[in-house]
Amino acid sequence: MPPKRIAVLGGGSFGTAVANIAASNGHTVKLWMRSEKQAQDILDQGENSRYLPGYKLSERLTPELDLAAAVSDADYVFVAVPSKAFRSVAEQAIPLLPAHTALISLTKGIEPGSFKLMSQILHDLAPSHEVGVISGPNLAKEIAQNQISATVIASYSQSLRQNVQQLLSSQFFRVYGNPDIYGVELAGALKNIYAIITGLAVALGMAENTRAAIITRALAEMSRFAVRLGANPMTFLGLAGVGDLIVTCSSQLSRNYRVGYYIGEGDSLKQAIKRVGETAEGINTLRMVHEKAAEMGIYMPLVGGLYAIIYEDQPIREVSGKLMSGDLAQDVEFMGAGI
């Protein structure tokens, strides 16, 4: 692929990692951020010292404080801001784009109030632009270390999927395609809830058998929910589903896992979020999914239990003791009635 002009909106850890992959592949990349200090650190030190300290960035990556300067000539714009700010940033950026620019979300979350996924926001605001989503087991620090990693680009557009695969694939980073944009994005948002649950359980002394039970029941629960909303159940057997769920429920590099762990240690929610120092999307996603599941009558005992702990201040051990006493459900979802 000839060199392209790329803008990444959001200077957090994953946005920086993706920007650096593209720049290392020979593309011209502008990394837009609001913090002058953070931008100056990249110029002076060649690294994002706040979110990815110690990892050198490509010289083809330039920090940018001016949104118009970042996107006005971009062929591809990757949006990597927290879900609560996503619409606002997109509304500012989209009128500045060339007609051919493709938009790709890197944000794993759901918009408060509307229950819209980030791709739906982009489709609404930019109906004439191609839209995609990247999601998968992508811990930013491991990507920055050139640890072998893989992700999924989901889009209704086959050409966009193929182009993003070429933009970002490298010796260390593999990009797979999936047309189920809704399923891939829901998987990325939902798994954050179960990472919080797992972190909390580890802090309480969870055994490995328990972790396996939580992860597999989480997979059943999140796929059950997503399929009711229109996703393809097969998506949850791939990187964006079970792959992302395993890593986020197993690694202390996961922000949501750490929030759960600190709560399990006795911190308040506010204290836990402050200790993590970055947005943990699972907290807001939990509230919205709990409300949606109740509205649609979807059985989600893990979500209900965590909601009781986080938002109703119920005792952790009392709630955790009830989680295994619910309905005796089918082991594997979607195998058919009577099996």
Q: What local confidence, expressed as pLDDT, does residue 318 receive?
A: 78
Indicate whether 336 pLDDT > 60: no
Sheet holding 149-154, edge to edge: 61-64, 28-32, 5-9, 76-79, 102-105, 131-135, 149-154, 173-178
Q: What is the mean pLDDT of residues 207-223?
A: 91
pLDDT class of 322 with cuts at 50, 70, 90: low
Q: What local confidence, expressed as pLDDT, does residue 112 receive?
A: 87
Q: C-alpha angle with apex 8: 2 to 12, nearest 5 degrees?
A: 140
Phi, psi of 77 (to 5 degrees): -120, 120
For residue range 199-214, list pLDDT tens digits in order: 999 999 988 888 898 9
Q: Taking Cα atoms as reference points, which of 92, 88, 126 lies closest to residue 107?
A: 88
List of residues 6+ apart from 85 with CB closer than 8 A: none
Q: What is the mean pLDDT of residues 164-191?
A: 96
Retrieve residue 177's tokens.
Answer: 């395609």
Distance CA 295, CA 245 (A): 25
Instruction: Give me the helices (H) in 204-281, please.
Output: 208-228, 244-248, 255-265, 269-276
DSSP string covering 30-58, please?
EEE-S-HHHHHHHHHHSS-TTTSTT-PPP
For residue range 252-299, list pLDDT tens digits in order: 889 999 999 999 999 998 999 999 887 778 999 999 999 999 999 999
Q: What local confidence, expressed as pLDDT, does residue 79 receive?
A: 98
% of the chain beyond a pLDDT of 90: 82
Q: What local confidence, expressed as pLDDT, does residue 316 receive?
A: 84
Q: What local confidence, expressed as pLDDT, does residue 75 receive?
A: 98
Neighbours of 197 (CB within 10 A): 28
105 three-class SS? strand
Indicate whether 330 pLDDT > 70: no
- Whether the CB-CB separation of 149 and 324 falls below 8 Å is answered with no
Average pLDDT over the chain, rounded to an integer: 92
Q: Taking Cα atoms as reference points, which of 201, 200, 220, 219 lies closest to residue 209?
A: 201
Q: What local confidence, expressed as pLDDT, does residue 225 receive?
A: 95
Distance CA 98, CA 77 (A): 11
Instruction: State the catalytic residues.
Output: 191
pLDDT class of 11 with cuts at 50, 70, 90: very high
Would strands 131-135 and 149-154 be described as parallel, antiparallel, or unpaired? Answer: antiparallel
Which of 19-23, 94-98, 203-207 has the weakest average pLDDT? 203-207
Q: What local confidence, expressed as pLDDT, does residue 337 receive?
A: 45
Domains of the chain: 5-179 (3.40.50.720), 182-325 (1.10.1040.10)
Let me know if 200 is exposed, middle or buried by CB neighbors in 10 A (0-12, 13-18, 19+): buried
Q: What local confidence, expressed as pLDDT, does residue 338 receive?
A: 38
Indicate whether 61 pLDDT > 90: yes
CA distances from 24 to 6, 52, 96, 214, 303 (A): 12, 16, 26, 38, 40
Q: What local confidence, expressed as pLDDT, does residue 326 receive?
A: 58
* Cα atoms in the 13 Å half-sphere on the side-chain side of 125: 22
Indicate whether 324 pLDDT > 70: no
List of residues 6+ apart from 24 with CB closer than 8 A: 58, 60, 170
For residue range 63-76, list pLDDT tens digits in order: 999 999 999 999 99
* DSSP, res 80: -
Indicate whether 331 pLDDT > 70: no
* DSSP, res 160: H
Indicate whether 329 pLDDT > 70: no
Which of 112-116, 147-151, 330-334 has the weakest average pLDDT? 330-334
Q: What is the mean pLDDT of residues 35-50?
A: 94
